[in-house]
Structure 1
Amino acid sequence: MRKRNWLIVILMLLLLSACGQSATSGTAEDDNVIKIGATPDGYPQYYYENNELEGFSVDMIEAIFAEIGYEVEWVVTDWTGVLASLETGKIDTVANFAQTPEREEKYSFTEAYYYSRAALGVAKDNDTIHSLEDVKGKQVGNVTGSNYQNVLKENDPNDEIEIINYETADVIHQDVASGKVDAFVTGREILLAQIKDKGIPLQVVGEAFGEKLVSLPFAKTEENEALIAEINEAVETLRADGTFQDLSMEWFDEDVTISQDEQ
């Protein structure tokens, strides 16, 4: 009887020890994983090809975290879901996220890894819209939650442009091409790449406007501040050794990793 009791005690100790090792191992592993939110249809920033997430932001961000020894886990959903996941802490950060004063109140940001410039997209056969002035009194499509709506408002002080929000860009492309709405506000480089590579039946008109820093947002914690410092060092390294410029030229045929003022 005593032997059996001792055996039970020993087995319980071994089981507890194993559980403790498993928990410690899992924590250590999790410490080196960064969960990043993205959408499945944001070509060329991120998109699926052969069941793998590809894209400019994917390449840039994975290069950053490889530099500091972290593994990236991509969490892919629609943009509204991405923002909700960031709010609730289900992900650590978000790809292709413009840094704005409003967002800085809520999140801490890394150094920028590229500069976003807005532009207007219109139907291929549209010959009446050539600039921001021409969309005053008209309807402009925008993806819900994107910062391009705010950029457009900054350039519309008298509130003369009606913004129509959509859940996805695909529907906007269709509605602009058919004339249901007059134009689409989005990233200039993004739309140019989609028109060239995906055959989207739109054209980019006018000059780029509303340049914004695109950085990685994190919840404001001491732990994240330390991580941001690591990321910033990696950004400087990859900018200095030409990695950022090479990736930008590969995706856009121009360097979007520096400001227009520096070009």
Structure 2
Amino acid sequence: MKKFIRMTALALAALLMLAGCGKKQETTGDRLAQIQQKGELVIAMEGNWAPWSFHDDSDALVGYDVEVGKAIAEKLGVKATFVEGEWDGLLAGVEAGRYDMVINGVDITDSRKETYDFSTPYAYIKTALVVAESNDTIHSFEDLAGKTTANSIGSTYMEMAEQYGATCSGVDTLDETIQMVLQGRADATLNANVSFFDYLNQHPDAAIKIVAESDDANEIAIPMQKGDDTASLREAVNKAIEDLRAEGKLTELSNKYFGSDISSK
């Protein structure tokens, strides 16, 4: 009986030892180390905002932000994995730790900096105000007072329109916002000027016009979870962006997708 108990104890110890050996070594709290250990950088984006991120005729995910994300991941020595979702859930996913970062033409704002840490800017754009060609009442941002606009929920464009006194309807895509303007369900819409340039290149007969642009360029950067655990990740991403800028890669991608260089002021 004693021999049986001894053998059972030895067997149990062996099982525990095997279980310990089979368990993955716990990662540190450092986000960059975790990413490099699993070999994957999880990037969130909308996937329906051309030319930043969209699906081509073969349904492949392409765009400026897609290629920027892949280039950054390569600099970090890992692969890029893209997760698509609606705009208002992307930043919340970073805050909750579901995504490593958002690469989606995100403007740096004071309110966002309170919740997220941003990389160095990788693009600079201006906000454009668009109305139907037949509209002769809106000529400036100040004319939005008492008017209606259509924009992505929680976007800086919606916030800007509301600051000028507009009533905003939330939509998911640029196409939807423009359709609402064309159908008369919204008086105007705001978005990145380069996004409208791309839309007009794709739809030269669209009955819309840009009536105003912001004076100052918005800084476009990459939001990440705030905290000491992500400090090394931010440093690595910043270095990757500066290397890509110095190598001319950001200029190349800018010209490819926007027809101009938006990688510097």
TM-score range, shorter chain: 0.7 to 0.9
SS of equivalent residue, structure 2 residue 92: helix
> What is aligned with 1:243?
249
Matches of 1:28 and 1:113 in 2, distance apart?
21
SS of equivalent residue, structure 1 residue 182: coil
> What is aligned with 1:197?
202
> What is aligned with 1:144?
153
SS of equivalent residue, structure 2 residue 209: strand
User: In structure 1, what residue type is equivalent to 2:55?
Assistant: Y
User: In structure 2, what residue type is equivalent to 1:168?
Assistant: D
> What is aligned with 2:187?
182
> What is aligned with 1:227?
233
User: Which residues of 2 match residues 1-263 of structure 1 at below 5 A?
Assistant: 5=8, 10=14, 13-20=17-24, 31-49=38-56, 50-95=58-103, 96-152=105-161, 156=164, 159=165, 162-169=166-173, 170-197=175-202, 201-209=206-214, 210-259=216-265
- Structure 2: gaps of 5 or more residues: 28-33
Matches of 1:20 and 1:247 in 2, distance apart?
39
Conserved? CA contact 1:139–1:163, under 8 Å: yes
Conserved? CA contact 1:173–1:201, under 8 Å: no
Taking structure 1 as the reference length, the TM-score comes to 0.83
Matches of 2:35 and 2:195 in 1, distance apart?
37
Taking structure 2 as the reference length, the TM-score comes to 0.82
Report the more deviating stretch, 203-212 or 27-36: 27-36
Matches of 1:30 and 1:198 in 2, distance apart?
45
Conserved? CA contact 1:129–1:205, under 8 Å: no
User: In structure 2, what residue type is equivalent to 1:212?
Assistant: N
Aligned residues: 252
Matches of 2:40 and 2:66 in 1, distance apart?
15
Q: CA deviation at 1:31?
A: 4.9
Report the more deviating stretch, 28-37 or 118-127: 28-37
Give the root-mean-square deviation of aligned CA atoms: 2.8
1:102-129 CA-to-partner distances (Å, cap 9, x unmatched) read: 1112221110010121111222444554
User: In structure 2, what residue type is equivalent to 1:143?
Assistant: S
SS of equivalent residue, structure 2 residue 99: coil
Report the more deviating stretch, 169-178 or 179-188: 169-178
Report the more deviating stretch, 60-69 or 92-101: 60-69
* Cα 1:245/1:164, change in 2 over 3 Å: same
- Structure 1: gaps of 5 or more residues: none
